[in-house]
């Protein structure tokens, strides 16, 4: 994915159109607070780090999303990573914005590389120096997930591919030794039928070096021909799956689909005959939910609003008909249903069949209450609850009866 030129923040009009009052400047600290982590399936669009850190807060307020991918960390001219190659990863604005997102239950992935600038593995001259450069970023932002967007010349640079994978394998082992998890994503260009041979070799090298890859994220964009973009996003994923079967034959089908990510460029692509529409987003999210794909993302959250003219390629709008934040909403993954909130104080003495409190499901009917509660406050199974009793208890305090086999 490309790194755009520096412009004034595009998120301000998106936030204002959504009726959001933009955040005041944030204060930061030397290192961000740890994040809560990620659910099994999530949406984490790319947000450009050449913008100020406040743009992350604005994006969250405007879209309602909880997870974002910070793009990109690249070389600052030497073996040191910086946002867009110029802004320190300890920048107060960005650190405070990440803290604020995490305090609300969200989290960030940080992406290294991209379509412009220089990824650190092409600058650092040893495994140790590269590990140190990655570690500075990981520790400054308290990251548990890192993404590597490898494309163009970086993809064919086999020396840097090997060096990067060696460093990542070492880092995963070293963090694991102190009880920390480091999940590695690879974001790669894709054809309508799957990855190029270069991308496959990169993944094979990662496995050989001992890297545990959590996500293979394909950039479903910029193919060249005029294509049905929603449909091709799914055929590319089908092709990737077949390639992953050969790389990781020891994994189950569900595990392999759960390692996939899919990242379209919303609206008008760099190949301007290609347009990823809101209808394409519906096709992709339905497919992803059906297959169990782990990650959906898009390029980029700053473009998630209409342009003044349809068909325009721009860094600040999509060029396709839409309302503000349409793609953010359409590509949002369903949140996992919370487990029932069992509290004995809610249910003690009710004299009913085994009960659970605070759950999302309605009570079954046709069960009869019993008189002796169990020691933990739950009543023992003893027949059937009368439907009228069920309705009464359901209203206070949201209790339903459960039989011994999962009613």
Residues of the chain with pLDDT > 70, as a percent, come to: 75
* pLDDT over 70 at 226, yes or no: yes
| Residues 223-226: contacts with CB under 8 Å, at least 24 apart | 223/191, 223/192, 223/271, 223/274, 224/271, 225/273, 226/273, 226/274
Lowest mean pLDDT among 16-20, 280-284, 306-310: 16-20
Domain boundaries, the chain: 11-330, 344-401
Among 3.40.50.720, 3.30.390.50, 3.20.20.140, 3.20.20.80, what is the CATH number of 11-330? 3.20.20.80
Give me the pLDDT at residue 303, please: 98
The Cα 284–Cα 294 span in angstroms is: 13
Give me the pLDDT at residue 1, please: 76
Torsion angles phi and psi, residue 184, rounded to 5 = -110, 130
Q: Which residues are catalytic?
A: 151
The model's pLDDT over 181-214, given as tens digits with 9 standing for 90+, comes to 999 999 999 999 999 999 999 999 999 999 999 9
Q: How many CA atoms lie within 13 A of 303 on its CB side?
A: 25
| Burial grade of 242 (CB within 10 A; 0-12, 13-18, 19 or more) | exposed
């Amino acid at each position: 994915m490309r790194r755009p030129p520096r412009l004034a923040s595009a998120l301000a009009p998106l936030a204002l159109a959504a009726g959001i009052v933009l955040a005041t400047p944030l204060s930061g600290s030397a290192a961000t607070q740890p994040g809560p982590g990620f659910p099994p399936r999530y949406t984490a669009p790319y947000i450009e780090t050449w913008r100020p850190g406040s743009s992350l807060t604005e994006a969250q307020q405007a879209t309602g999303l909880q997870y974002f991918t910070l793009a990109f960390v690249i070389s600052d001219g030497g073996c040191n990573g910086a946002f867009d190659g110029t802004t320190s990863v300890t920048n107060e604005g960005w650190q405070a914005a990440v803290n604020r997102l995490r305090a609300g239950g969200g989290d960030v992935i940080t992406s290294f590389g991209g379509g412009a600038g220089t990824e650190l593995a092409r600058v650092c001259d040893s495994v140790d120096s590269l590990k140190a450069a990655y570690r500075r970023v990981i520790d400054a932002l308290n990251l548990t997930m890192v993404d590597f967007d490898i494309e163009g010349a970086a993809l064919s640079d086999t020396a840097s591919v090997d060096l990067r994978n060696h460093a990542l394998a070492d880092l995963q082992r070293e963090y694991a030794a102190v009880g920390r998890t480091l999940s590695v994503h690879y974001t790669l260009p894709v054809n309508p039928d799957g990855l190029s041979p270069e991308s496959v070799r990169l993944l094979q090298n990662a496995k050989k070096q001992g890297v545990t890859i959590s996500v293979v994220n394909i950039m479903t964009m910029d193919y060249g021909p005029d294509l049905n973009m929603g449909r091709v996003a799914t055929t590319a994923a089908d092709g990737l799956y077949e390639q992953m079967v050969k790389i990781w034959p020891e994994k189950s089908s569900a595990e392999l689909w759960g390692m996939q990510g899919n990242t379209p460029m919303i609206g008008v692509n760099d190949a301007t005959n290609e347009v990823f529409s809101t209808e394409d987003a519906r096709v992709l999210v339905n497919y992803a939910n059906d297959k169990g794909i782990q990650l959906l993302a898009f390029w980029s959250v700053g473009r998630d609003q209409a342009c003044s003219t349809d068909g325009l390629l721009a860094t600040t709008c999509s060029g396709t008909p839409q309302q503000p934040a349409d793609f953010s909403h359409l590509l949002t993954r369903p949140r996992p249903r919370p487990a029932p909130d069992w509290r004995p104080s809610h249910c003690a003495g009710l004299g009913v069949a085994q009960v659970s409190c605070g759950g999302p499901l309605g009570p079954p009917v046709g069960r009869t209450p019993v008189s002796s509660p169990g020691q933990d406050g739950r009543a023992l199974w003893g027949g059937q609850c009368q439907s009228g009793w069920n309705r009464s208890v359901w209203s206070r305090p949201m209790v339903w009866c459960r039989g011994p086999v999962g009613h």
